[in-house]
């Protein structure tokens, strides 16, 4: 169902096109892929779209030519968000002056893309009504949703055991606090800690591996030697 609007993604790199469409679908938009400027132009002539996300270096018809065609013809009011590897100021200024509504450079963060899409639609009077935000705890690309006991990194759900979830929940509740192994054991396992049990270390190690499988370039849980653990 076209719940929040129909968006055309004109991007010739299949992986990037798929990523953009996935980001949009998670935000409840209908995303349609095109892989060349000519294909995008054809789709625009046959279907109604609420927004175009446009790469500049497209085969067939480049993005700048397609933008000019849109602004000269019947799609004058269609919001266009440029998403390009070209980061020079003159490129941004030129495209905005030619009629682009916004300009983002690659690489990009999913949250920023979603926000800019919403802003373009809002200015065009096509934005969905804001949805109540889900209360969550967050750190870097990690989000924890206490109501559903879910954890996500960059939107990908982590499959956590109940004890792994509880450890992460404690750390995110107090991001500046150093938790001793004794404190973590007593609060998560609800029992006494006798100093020799390796349970906490094993669970923290498993948590690190699961987070690193999604975001390998950032440290999330830091070991404070001789004391315990805290958010990095």
User: What is the pLDDT at residue 194?
Assistant: 64
In a domain, 130, yes or no: no
User: What is the pLDDT at residue 28?
Assistant: 87
- In this structure, the answer to whether residues 37 and 108 fall within a common structural domain is yes
- In this structure, the answer to whether residues 212 and 184 fall within a common structural domain is yes
**Higher pLDDT pick, 124 / 76:** 124
Q: In terms of residue numbers, what domain contains 180?
A: 137-231
Q: Tell me how many domains the chain contains.
A: 2
Contact criterion met (CB below 8 Å) for 160 and 171: no
Split at pLDDT 50, 70, 90, the class of 131 is: low
- In this structure, the answer to whether residues 147 and 210 fall within a common structural domain is yes
d(CA 117, CA 52): 9
Kindly report the CATH number assigned to the domain that includes residue 14.
3.40.50.2300
In a domain, 109, yes or no: yes
> For residue 103, what are the contacts with CB-CB under 8 A and spacing of at least 6?
81, 82, 84, 91, 92, 95, 96
- CA proximity to 53, closest of 42, 66, 61: 66
Split at pLDDT 50, 70, 90, the class of 1 is: very low
Interval 52-98: pLDDT, tens: 999 999 999 999 999 999 988 756 789 999 999 988 888 889 999 99
In a domain, 222, yes or no: yes
Q: Which residue has the tokens 């009077």?
A: 125
> What is the C-alpha radius of gyration for the chain, rounded to an integer number of angstroms?
23
Interval 137-173: pLDDT, tens: 889 999 998 888 889 998 899 999 999 999 999 999 9
- In this structure, the answer to whether residues 51 and 105 fall within a common structural domain is yes
Q: Is 55 exposed, middle or buried (0-12, 13-18, 19+ CB in 10 A)?
A: buried
- In this structure, the answer to whether residues 102 and 142 fall within a common structural domain is no
Q: What residues form DSSP beta bridges with 138?
A: 143
- In this structure, the answer to whether residues 93 and 168 fall within a common structural domain is no
**pTM for the complete prediction?**
0.56
Interval 16-57: pLDDT, tens: 999 999 999 988 899 999 999 999 999 999 999 999 999 999
pLDDT at 2 over 50: no
- In this structure, the answer to whether residues 38 and 110 fall within a common structural domain is yes
d(CA 134, CA 166): 19
Q: Which DSSP string do the residues of 133-180 spell out, in sequence order?
A: PPP-EEETTEEEETTTTEEEETTEEP---HHHHHHHHHHHHSTTPPEE
- In this structure, the answer to whether residues 142 and 218 fall within a common structural domain is yes
pLDDT at 6 over 70: yes
Residue 173: CB atoms within 10 Å: 11
């Amino acid at each position: 169902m076209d719940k929040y609007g129909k968006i055309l993604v004109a991007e010739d790199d299949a992986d990037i096109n798929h990523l953009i469409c996935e980001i949009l679908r998670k935000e409840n938009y209908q995303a349609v892929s095109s892989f060349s400027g000519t294909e995008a132009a054809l789709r625009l002539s046959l279907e109604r779209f609420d927004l175009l996300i446009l790469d500049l270096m497209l085969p067939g018809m480049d993005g700048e030519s397609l933008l000019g065609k849109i602004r000269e013809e019947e799609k004058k009011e269609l919001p266009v968000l440029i998403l390009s590897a070209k980061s020079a100021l003159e490129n941004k200024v030129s495209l905005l002056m030619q009629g682009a509504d916004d300009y983002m450079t690659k690489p990009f963060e999913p949250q920023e893309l979603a926000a800019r899409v919403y802003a373009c639609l809002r200015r065009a009077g096509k934005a969905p009504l804001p949805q109540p935000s889900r209360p969550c705890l967050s750190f870097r690309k990690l989000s924890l949703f206490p109501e559903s006991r879910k954890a996500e990194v960059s939107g990908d759900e982590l499959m956590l055991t109940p004890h792994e979830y509880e450890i992460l929940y404690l750390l995110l509740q107090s991001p500046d606090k150093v938790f001793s192994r004794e404190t973590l054991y007593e609060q998560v396992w609800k029992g006494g800690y006798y100093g020799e049990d390796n349970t906490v270390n094993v669970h923290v190690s498993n948590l690190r591996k699961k987070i690193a499988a999604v975001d390998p370039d950032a440290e999330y849980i830091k070991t404070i030697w001789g004391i315990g653990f805290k958010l990095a």
